Structure 1
Amino acid sequence: MDFLVLGPVEVRESGAPVRLRGMRRRRLLALLLLNAGHAVSMDVLVDELWEDPPASARHQVHNAIRDLRAALTGSEGAGLITVDVGYRLDVPADAVDAQRFTDWVRAARTARREGRDAEAMRLLQAAVDLWRGAAFADIDCPLVTAVAAGLDEQRLTAVEELMELRLAAGETGSLVAELSALTSRHPLRDALRGSLMLALYRSGRQADALAVYDEGRRLLADELGLEPGPRLRRLQTEILADAPQLQRRTPAPGRLPVVRSVRDNYLPRDLPDFTGRAAELARLDRALDDPGAGSPRTVVIDGMGGIGKTALAVHYAHRRTADHLDGQYYVDLHGYSPVRAPLAPEEALGVLLRSDGVEPGSLPAGLAERSAIWRSRLAGRRALLVIDNAADAAQVAPLLPGAGDTLTLITTRRKLTAMDGALSLPLGPLAPAEAEALFQRVAGDTRTDPFLSRTVALCGHHPLALRIAATRLRDRPSWTVPDVAARLRTSGGRAGFLRTADRDLMSVLALSYAHLPVEALEFTRALALHPAAVHDIPQACAATGLAPSDVERLFDTLLDHNLADEPTPSHLAIPLLLRDCAHTVTLPSRDTAPQLTAVA
């Protein structure tokens, strides 16, 4: 049995259509297919099927499910299952044409990257041929409509890539009529207009190619107040100059030239003086290059404040850009911000969808709808997503892709234990040699100094602390490394020295304490004031007066928030800088929520 959604919704058994009585049953099937393999709650079904649900809505859904189940009886591998919250439709992955489309487009892009353009062209053509009209053409449920828009965008992108491949294969005149019709239907698509210009030029119609450019420029100016993109402007210049690179090429048999287009890149700037993390970078490469790693791939980078999570994620994302040419996206969730509340998932999805070209006025309001559109737009693409500063797994989950070759890098100060299937990369202090190299690079002084190892140790091998200390040394030409070490010797000295007009290490670290319950704060303060660096459970009980079971629970809380280390089982160590911070925070009343501020 085949389920067809790339056009009007249909079900076919051995090529023959299966009758689905009534539009409500078709809408119900569409909603279940959108979530194939996953439960859809009765509340969602009712809300999507009626603007103003009647009292009998649930009963009508039950009846429609009964009819659907009867229509699907005998379908090999398909089943409509009743679950606690609603219903789940189980179907083979290749039984839905949208899934076949996504798989073939993904395979075509892999073939194209590997230089197998003839195979890529065949796969893209097969994928495009699956379409019989607009996706879910006869279904008007809000959620379905939103996902359909994403699928239609994927189709257009696949058509654009197919046109590029056919041009690279030597087709010209035969494409002009096809590209003219496509450009007429989608006049603001630069890629289609550019392919039409190139096809006309290679057909000896230079004037017509330039006229197509002028038409597009006028449309953009009149409707959007914009100029054509740099790629189209460059093509116009090359056509005017009869540039040699525009001439038709005759590819070698069996291998066509690889044509790559890079979508928008929203990644923050990579640090020009990024230093260290060799072990972590190597681990990421090994894990993500493993053929058995699966897709989409997700990495959670967790660690204390200022430890370099964002720097590592952004640096690695830039290293992987060439492997993810279908877009590089970034969103800061502000999970630990001193000036604003964490970004709600629907707000974050608004940022990402606008980055991917969705007009603000076209964005649905609901979280489920935005999440579905985002997943649909990423499906079948090799994209890269950096989700920075996550507060918890609930804030991240709606942003994750559901399919495709997307790589997602998440940074957080907490252990996200609910992120099933993700690679966990805990980030600790730099290795001593890496810490020394970073200090010297920022300070601009590579001379050997016997006090250097002591100085970076007093910074806890902590990247932000090292940067602040090295910057202060760089900006005070009369100072030496021993002068810096002297100012870092005491807890109070470190707190004051590692604070500038722009950056304050203690304030950065204190943001993590604001997420702890009061009893965990009191427990941390008591251990931080104790002279011992490492505590086992009996020692912690003696220092705090708590029962062993409470100590074990609070041990776990601190470890989950990356506010302590566990050098050996049942032993807790609070790093040097976190002990300093615990000395400088104001403990809130047990009757109020934690409101921590760093004090001098």
Structure 2
Amino acid sequence: MLATLMMSPERVVSVDYLIEEVWNGDPPSTGRAQIAICVAALRKVFRTVGVPQQVIVTAAPGYKLVTDGHIIDTAEFTRRVESAQRAMEQGGRGQAIALLRDALRLWRGPALDGVSSRAAETEAMRLEEQRLLAIEQYMALRLKVGEHQTLLSELSTLVRENPLRERFLAQLMQAQYRSGQRVEALRTFREGRREFVAELGLEPGTELQELHHAVLRDDSAVLGPAAGPASAALTSAEPSGNWPSPAQLPSNIGAFAGREDELRELDDLLAERSDNDPVGIGFVTGAPGVGKTALAIHWAHRAAAHFPDGMLYADLQEAGQPLSSQVVLQRFLRGLGVEPERIPGGREECAALYRTVLRGRRTLVILNDVHSFRQLRPLLPGNGKSCALVTGRAELQGLIHSGSPLRLCLGQLRQTDSVRLLSGVVRGRRIDHDPATVRLAELCDHHPLALRAAGARLANKPHWTVADLVARLENPSRRLAELSHGEYSVRARLECGYGSLDAAAARAYRVLGAGQSVDFDVREAADMLELPLVEAEDTIERLLDTHLLEVAADGGGVSGRRYRLQELLRLHAQETAVSTLSVPSGC
């Protein structure tokens, strides 16, 4: 009912229409009474979350949603897209890109998802078309400003999700051609044409066919200048001197899926800065195995053209122990072309030389699995032209004093992205249309490492069906074991997170995970832990800081907040509790 009112803000919606929409033309005899009860409940919800004025008012012959002082995301989306259109008409290309980016960030999944009325389904289709049109405009503008290499991954994803949308196919072909990938551009056309013929029995449209002919003719007048492989990385900027340009970034992540919102937010790090500006810092955090490193590496490859002076990369954990920042500095300095005999022996001297060498350069520094701010601080560049992308589980309180860092906390993947990730890992088998794949994603908790582990199991066991693996994972006592083989070991990754806890937090993790309730509030936690309320709250906060616990619902204030362990974490906590109890005293 709320969705129906929100589709007609500031307009009276009759009770008869609400009844028709809520029950899809088959209302109960008590329909009017139930509508009134729903309105009362919704008004109570708004008051509970702190909205003093009435949002739903009675207005004959029904009700009206009052938006004064409030923002409806669909209306705000439309406003920003229209503002972008006006900016384009006035030649403000950069402003239009920023407005479209902000508009698209309002989307957090399918419009009106889960609402099944006819009007809602029609409106959802209209809004989805508006979203796709906005994305087409956004991509076209970014291609015009030379971001073709950055857009390759995004456009590839859009084509996979919308194979019959010709504009995305054309934009991907343009981006590939301009990035020196002429063969890939031709392959994109062939695959798109095959999809059109198979699904529609039609050839692609004139625009796409002309673009294909332009690629065959190597016609840069139509497609824009093509970059050769050696020069493709210089499309956004040129190297700033004769120093070596280190290329320490690991190879790109295979079968990457989802995280479109996070990738767009990381693009904010590419804003133009001077040497005297604070360094741009992105901090990616989240639970063990949630894909922090994968996101950082994937984005770094997309953004490579913006950092012509090179990329530095370091894992800050070695053999399960934090790596000395001095060791990392010495490695970075060697990569930056400093002769070994000129590298100082002390950490502060190394850090000073490191900042001096980076002065005036556009370099990206990726610091993976940071343990503490003390370890991180000497490794941050000192100039605004460079950027640092940091990943880690622990909250780095000192980052707030290093400018205005962008903080991203990764959660579970959306269902569609989980299925895409599984399909990408299991190559050569069309599992995305198998109904069992959705259940497999659910059993993996939509957790990226677990999904990769499941996909690897299926890839290595071609005689298994998806249903075979689902049957194994349905047993909670076997689930972690099934997902802990080889490099994609979910249990090993969770053990690393658990091993970082102090004794009190580790005990709380085991006790709360072994509890009967899926979620709990602070009082229930205090009872389970046999701790005073304040101590229980402090312990919960330490688990939240390490992302082994999450807020399930926030009703306002400590007393109204409920917490939970994600399912795989809960299974691990239960395993750990059993193994701890079975260890003889004195061990």
Name the TM tier (shorter chain).
0.5 to 0.7
Counterpart for residue 271 of structure 1: 253
Q: How does 1:387-406 map to 2 (within 5 A)?
A: 387-406=367-386
Contact kept in structure 2, 1:301 and 1:426, CA below 8 Å: yes
Structure 1 stretch displaced more, 293-302 or 479-488: 293-302
Counterpart for residue 316 of structure 1: 299
Q: Taking structure 1 as reference, are residues 365 and 459 closer, same or farther at Cα in structure 2, changes over 3 Å only?
A: same
Counterpart for residue 585 of structure 1: 576
Rounded Cα–Cα distance in structure 1 between residues aligned with 2:359 and 2:338: 16
Q: How does 1:359-378 map to 2 (within 5 A)?
A: 359-378=339-358
In the alignment, which of 470, 473, 483 is matched to residue 488 of structure 1? Answer: 473
Q: How does 1:135-174 map to 2 (within 5 A)?
A: none
Indicate the SS of the match to 2:254: coil
Q: Taking structure 1 as reference, are residues 260 and 358 closer, same or farther at Cα in structure 2, changes over 3 Å only?
A: closer
Q: Alignment RMSD, CA only? A: 2.7
Q: How does 1:82-97 map to 2 (within 5 A)?
A: none
Counterpart for residue 322 of structure 2: 342
Report the CA distance between 1:566 and its aligned residue.
Answer: 1.0
What amino acid does structure 1 have at the position aligned with 2:430? T
Contact kept in structure 2, 1:295 and 1:406, CA below 8 Å: no
Q: How does 1:177-576 map to 2 (within 5 A)?
A: 263-286=245-268, 288-289=270-271, 295-334=278-317, 339-420=319-400, 421-444=404-427, 445-447=429-431, 448-569=433-554, 570-576=561-567
Report the CA distance between 1:491 and its aligned residue.
Answer: 2.9
What amino acid does structure 2 have at the position aligned with 1:425? L
Structure 1 stretch displaced more, 510-519 or 259-268: 259-268
Counterpart for residue 39 of structure 1: none
Q: Which TM-score applies when normalising by structure 2?
A: 0.54
Report the CA distance between 1:309 and its aligned residue.
Answer: 0.8
Deviations 1:94-122 (A, max 9, x none): xxxxxxxxxxxxxxxxxxxx9xxxxxxxx
Rounded Cα–Cα distance in structure 2 between residues aligned with 1:315 and 1:472: 24
Rounded Cα–Cα distance in structure 2 between residues aligned with 1:363 and 1:411: 27
Structure 1's unaligned 5+ residue stretches are 1-113, 115-256, 591-595
Contact kept in structure 1, 2:307 and 2:364, CA below 8 Å: yes
Report the CA distance between 1:288 and its aligned residue.
Answer: 4.3
Report the CA distance between 1:588 and its aligned residue.
Answer: 10
Indicate the SS of the match to 1:472: helix
Rounded Cα–Cα distance in structure 2 between residues aligned with 1:329 and 1:525: 39
Counterpart for residue 108 of structure 1: none
Rounded Cα–Cα distance in structure 1 between residues aligned with 2:273 and 2:356: 24
What amino acid does structure 1 have at the position aligned with 2:295? L
Deviations 1:265-296 (A, max 9, x none): 11011113222111111122246448899542
Q: Taking structure 1 as reference, are residues 259 and 532 closer, same or farther at Cα in structure 2, changes over 3 Å only?
A: closer
Contact kept in structure 2, 1:297 and 1:422, CA below 8 Å: yes
Report the CA distance between 1:412 and its aligned residue.
Answer: 0.3
Rounded Cα–Cα distance in structure 1 between residues aligned with 2:362 and 2:237: 16
Rounded Cα–Cα distance in structure 1 between residues aligned with 2:257 and 2:277: 30
Rounded Cα–Cα distance in structure 2 between residues aligned with 1:586 and 1:265: 44
Q: Taking structure 1 as reference, are residues 496 and 453 closer, same or farther at Cα in structure 2, changes over 3 Å only?
A: same
Rounded Cα–Cα distance in structure 2 between residues aligned with 1:343 and 1:587: 32
Report the CA distance between 1:380 and its aligned residue.
Answer: 1.1
Rounded Cα–Cα distance in structure 1 between residues aligned with 2:474 and 2:515: 18
Contact kept in structure 2, 1:381 and 1:404, CA below 8 Å: no
Rounded Cα–Cα distance in structure 1 between residues aligned with 2:328 and 2:342: 16
Deviations 1:44-102 (A, max 9, x none): xxxxxxxxxxxxxxxxxxxxxxxxxxxxxxxxxxxxxxxxxxxxxxxxxxxxxxxxxxx
What amino acid does structure 1 have at the position aligned with 2:250? P
Q: Taking structure 1 as reference, are residues 564 and 377 closer, same or farther at Cα in structure 2, changes over 3 Å only?
A: same
Deviations 1:293-317 (A, max 9, x none): 9542001101122111111101111
Contact kept in structure 1, 2:511 and 2:577, CA below 8 Å: no
What amino acid does structure 1 have at the position aligned with 2:445? G
Rounded Cα–Cα distance in structure 2 between residues aligned with 1:327 and 1:397: 20
Counterpart for residue 196 of structure 1: none
Indicate the SS of the match to 1:329: strand
Deviations 1:403-445 (A, max 9, x none): 1311110010112122012111111121111111101111123
Deviations 1:504-545 (A, max 9, x none): 211111111111111111111111011212111122122222
Contact kept in structure 2, 1:521 and 1:587, CA below 8 Å: no
Report the CA distance between 1:258 and its aligned residue.
Answer: 8.8
Contact kept in structure 1, 2:510 and 2:577, CA below 8 Å: no
Q: How does 1:34-45 map to 2 (within 5 A)?
A: none
Contact kept in structure 1, 2:514 and 2:577, CA below 8 Å: no
Rounded Cα–Cα distance in structure 1 between residues aligned with 2:293 and 2:475: 29
Q: Taking structure 1 as reference, are residues 501 and 291 closer, same or farther at Cα in structure 2, changes over 3 Å only?
A: closer
Structure 2's unaligned 5+ residue stretches are 1-93, 95-235, 555-560, 582-586
Contact kept in structure 2, 1:378 and 1:404, CA below 8 Å: no
Q: Which TM-score applies when normalising by structure 1?
A: 0.52
Counterpart for residue 130 of structure 1: none
Rounded Cα–Cα distance in structure 2 between residues aligned with 1:314 and 1:290: 21
Q: Taking structure 1 as reference, are residues 589 and 509 closer, same or farther at Cα in structure 2, changes over 3 Å only?
A: closer
Contact kept in structure 1, 2:270 and 2:306, CA below 8 Å: no
Contact kept in structure 2, 1:332 and 1:389, CA below 8 Å: yes
Q: Taking structure 1 as reference, are residues 454 and 340 closer, same or farther at Cα in structure 2, changes over 3 Å only?
A: closer
Report the CA distance between 1:478 and its aligned residue.
Answer: 2.1
Deviations 1:459-481 (A, max 9, x none): 11111110111111122222111
Rounded Cα–Cα distance in structure 1 between residues aligned with 2:503 and 2:416: 38
Indicate the SS of the match to 1:317: helix
Rounded Cα–Cα distance in structure 2 between residues aligned with 1:587 and 1:512: 18
Contact kept in structure 1, 2:269 and 2:280, CA below 8 Å: no
Report the CA distance between 1:583 and its aligned residue.
Answer: 2.3
Indicate the SS of the match to 2:281: strand
Rounded Cα–Cα distance in structure 2 between residues aligned with 1:589 and 1:568: 30
Report the CA distance between 1:492 and its aligned residue.
Answer: 2.2
What amino acid does structure 2 have at the position aligned with 1:375? R
